[in-house]
A and B are shown apart, each in its own frame.
Chain A
Amino acid sequence: MESIEINTLRNVEDKPALFSKKGGELQISGPSLVELLRAVLDKGVPFRFRAKGFSMNPFIKDGDVITIFPLQGSRPRLGDVVAFTHPSTGGIAVHRVVGKKGSYFSIRGDNLPGGNETVSYKNLLGFVRNLERNGKNVFFGLGPERRLIALSSRSSILPYLLSPIWRLIRPFFKR
């Protein structure tokens, strides 16, 4: 990971830098990350950061870099992957929309056998539209197959289907 210290002063080795580039170094999470993400998205600009966790395996893996795009008034479709403020932790979660009713969305991690979470539109942060792994863009089920993934997830069979199916189809989806 690139990490440079910009010495804005003189070429004095032991003088601390006033201004440092720390992309990829800072561990920002929870409500602090939500605040930063919201501030960027509110300006209509996407936000790129490293995802943590296993709830969206195998589509999104721990350490993948995701880019979240602002909603800008759009409503997610069935199967879209969204970032939202988790109702209990206040942090960011990234899961798939498996159902909609009015202003509420049923959302679930692809790798979670448990129940859906109900999230209101105001708690949605943005769409996950790009995923990078080892510096390359990767497929994560946002094409026409997203509906099938969402329906399988809603009926709790997705985690059981995914492993064998994923092994078979993965080579065809590599970009």
Chain B
Amino acid sequence: MTATINHYASYVPSEEIVAREIEGELIIVPLVSGIGDMEDELFTLNETGRAIWDRLDGQRRLKDVVDELVQEFDADEGEIEEDVIGLLEELLKRKMVVEVK
């Protein structure tokens, strides 16, 4: 099932995760299953993923996130937008971020 993405909505990390930067890498432990599972359910973001994650602060709209990244990174806008939406779909599917209502 694909999550519905709203370009004018803001998103924020869910309460049902623990995220910590460890040795320069962002580690995300989902808690939605009722257990923090370092053996099976532990995720990391690469540098680009981290740049997107850091902007999911509940303030910026998705459109603003894309605009900022276009300014900051030397990449095609369409490609950046696709990256942002692709990552957000994964994060929403796993309940790691939620839309701010």
User: Is the pair A23, B18 in contact by a Cβ cutoff of 8 Å?
Assistant: no
Number of interface residues of A (CB under 8 A): 33
User: Is the pair B82, A18 in contact by a Cβ cutoff of 8 Å?
Assistant: no
CB neighbours (8 Å) of B23 from chain A are: 32
What are 29 residue pairs bridging A and B, where the CB atoms are less than 8 Å apart in the complex? A8-B49, A9-B86, A16-B46, A16-B48, A18-B49, A18-B87, A19-B49, A19-B87, A19-B90, A20-B46, A22-B44, A23-B38, A23-B40, A23-B42, A24-B42, A26-B44, A28-B27, A32-B22, A36-B18, A37-B36, A45-B35, A46-B34, A46-B35, A46-B36, A47-B36, A48-B35, A48-B37, A49-B38, A50-B39
Residues of chain B whose beta carbon lies under 8 Å from any beta carbon of chain A: 18, 20, 22-23, 25, 27, 29, 31, 34-46, 48-49, 52, 82-83, 86-87, 89-91
Partner of A24, one of B18, B31, B39, B90: B39
**Which among A19, A21, A39 has the highest number of chain B CB atoms within 10 Å?**
A19
CB neighbours (8 Å) of A47 from chain B are: 35-38
**Which among B18, B40, B83 has the highest number of chain A CB atoms within 10 Å?**
B18
CB neighbours (8 Å) of A48 from chain B are: 35-40
CA distance A131 to B11 in the complex (A): 37
Residues of chain A whose beta carbon lies under 8 Å from any beta carbon of chain B: 1-2, 6-10, 16-24, 26, 28, 32, 35-37, 39-40, 43, 45-50, 65, 67
CB neighbours (8 Å) of A43 from chain B are: 18, 31
Partner of A8, one of B22, B27, B40, B86: B86
CA distance A167 to B89 in the complex (A): 52
B98 to chain A, nearest CB (A): 16
